[in-house]
Chain A
Amino acid sequence: MSGQQQPIHQPASLQSYFIVFTILMVLTAITVYAGFQNYGVWNTPVALGIAVIKAALVILIFMHALHSPPTTWLVILASIFFLAIMLGMTLSDYMSRGMIT
């Protein structure tokens, strides 16, 4: 470790941040618009789908996951996995309560 001034990671382009910002703003407008429509059972999937796309953009670009080592990806996938267990198992209980008897 001698030549200290070379960056340890090349910064992402300025353009990529502004593009992501613009997409996030557009998706916010779309989600508000979609909220006022009635898609019946699809109301929630549409709202959550847009939110997942927005979250993915923030994670991949703003949080640099795209250029992160596999260990970081392990943690990201683990958090999604454990959240899915918590929500999935809980819902499987409540949604199946009326099925028996």
Chain B
Amino acid sequence: MSAIEETEHGHGHNKNLAHHFDTLEQQHEANTLGMWAFLLTEVLFFGGLFAAYTVYRYKYSAVFEEASNLLDITLGAVNTAILIGSSLTMALAVRNSQLGNSTKTGHWLVLTIIFGMGFLGVKYFEWKHDYDIHLMPGKNFFHWQFAKKAKEIHTKEHSHRLPGPQDGVLKDDDPSLGVKARLESEQARLFYLLYFCMTSLHALHMVVGFGIIGVIAWKAYSGVFSPDYYTPVEIIGLYWHFVDIVWIFLFPLLYLLGAHLGH
């Protein structure tokens, strides 16, 4: 829209209509189609991680279920609800832009960002906890026996105390644990590698979303959009709903995998 707005070339068409389109509707359909095409590449981008997850979950299903059982289902479910809420506020932002309510559009967009930040806030505490109990994958950092002991203490003593020397946590490769335990540690590490890759790629998409939604919200408050030109709001809406869909799949695949084993 930059070149068209800057030049005062009064040949009587809408300032939001690019020269290579006949009508605003045609332009709207071409732009949204482009966004859908981008989302197709995103599906395959995340798809690579989902494929890796599928293969290793198939190979190491028993340990993956146990590893999943260390994640906090309550926080995962709360975050799912927060994200679905942010999808609703985004849908309402798009709807208001269609109706020409610029200020309301801006408000709903800001609320969407706030929900998104709430999601990442919860995620921060989850990651922090995962880090504290040594679930972060790293050759000399990941410590499966430590994490399992932390979980045991939490279940038995209802405290968030980390295992200390008195708990006698063995190293994952301690000879007394045997080969099976060592394999279990390696497979659990793979689960947490996938967990961190998938959730952080998802979080990165949200952070990118904050920036773009922020710009669109500012434009909405400046009254750029109207019922015949709200395409940018529609497009950022598509992006945000896509991010929601990724989480809709991540939640059961990562958090609920081992729930039936009992807590």
A interface residues, Cβ below 8 angstroms from B:
1, 4-12, 14, 17-18, 21, 24-25, 28, 31-32, 34-39, 43, 47-48, 50-51, 54-55, 58-59, 61-64, 68-69, 71-72, 75-76, 78-79, 82-83, 86-87, 90-91, 94-95
Contacts and interface: CB of A to CB of B under 8 A. Distances in A.
Given A31-B252, A62-B91, A87-B54, A4 B84 contact: no
A58 B86 CA distance: 12
Contacts of B17: 1
A7 B77 CA distance: 38
Nearest to B26: A8
A62 B252 contact: no
Interface in B211-253: 226-228, 234, 237-238, 241-242, 244-245, 248-249, 251-253
B72 interface: no
Contact of B241 (A5, A63, A71): A63
A46 to B, nearest CB: 9
Interface string B98-133: 111000000000000000000000000000000000
B26 to A, nearest CB: 10
Interface in B38-58: 39-40, 43-44, 47-48, 50-51, 54-55, 58
A22 to B, nearest CB: 10
B84 A35 contact: no
Contacts of A6: 227-228
A58 B36 contact: no
